[in-house]
Amino acid sequence: MPNYRRNHVSGGTFFFTVNLLNRNSDLLIANIELLRRVVRQTIQRRPFQIEAWVVLPEHMHCVWTLPVDDSDYAARWKEIKMQFSKALPKTEELSEARTVQGERGIWQRRYWEHTIRSDSDFAAHVDYCHINPFKHGLVEQVKDWPYSTFHRDVKRGIYPENWATGIPEIEAGEAQ
């Protein structure tokens, strides 16, 4: 079994990208209420702070901060993925390997994790979450995407509602 290099920092803040196996699916936004419920339930059992989150049709990006005495984000992702999958009907095609291992064919097995190391790193990754629907051409303005913590952060006064409009490098699709 591979030993993935993950940075486990108690109380750390992390950026994640989590993908569906079928990158042409809209399963996440089609089942957004289920995903929201599963995340809320996971937070109740294994607390973490959502700093930013955006859900796109087939992948999502988020920034979490864990409790000071906890570094186990993997258990949280396992629970979110498992509970979401269990609640869906079994309609996906399964490879032989997934069938043998008793897996569903919903999620990519792995996810991208990055440990946030500074205030500027934090700001860049939160911005990346919020700009993503625009970057992927799903909306003309960030405020038009409903599946994002951007709206929460506008209410908190962190972003203006028209954030990221009129920025040439973003309009050209060069946001990172």
DSSP-derived secondary structure for 25-84: --HHHHTHHHHHHHHHHHHHHS--EEEEEEE-SSEEEEEEE--TT---HHHHHHHHHHHH
Report residue 175's pLDDT band, with 50, 70 and 90 as the boundaries.
very low
So what's the pLDDT on residue 5?
67
Query: How confident is the model over 81-139, as pLDDT tens digits?
Result: 999 999 987 877 777 776 676 677 789 988 999 999 999 999 999 999 999 999 999 99
Tell me, what's the pLDDT at 72? 95
Q: 95 φ, ψ to 5°?
A: -75, 165
Separation CA 142–CA 162 (nearest Å)? 8
Q: Which domains does the chain have, with CATH numbers?
A: 13-171 (3.30.70.1290)
**How confident is the model over 28-49, as pLDDT tens digits?**
999 999 999 999 999 999 999 9
Beta bridge partners of 52: 63
Residue closest to 113 by CA, chosen among 15, 5, 13, 37: 15
Inter-axis angle of helices 73-86 and 32-45, nearest 10: 140
Give per-residue pLDDT as tens, 44-96. Answer: 999 999 999 999 999 999 999 999 999 999 999 999 999 999 998 787 777 77
Active-site residues: which are they?
147
Q: With 50 as the cut, is the pLDDT of residue 174 above it?
A: no
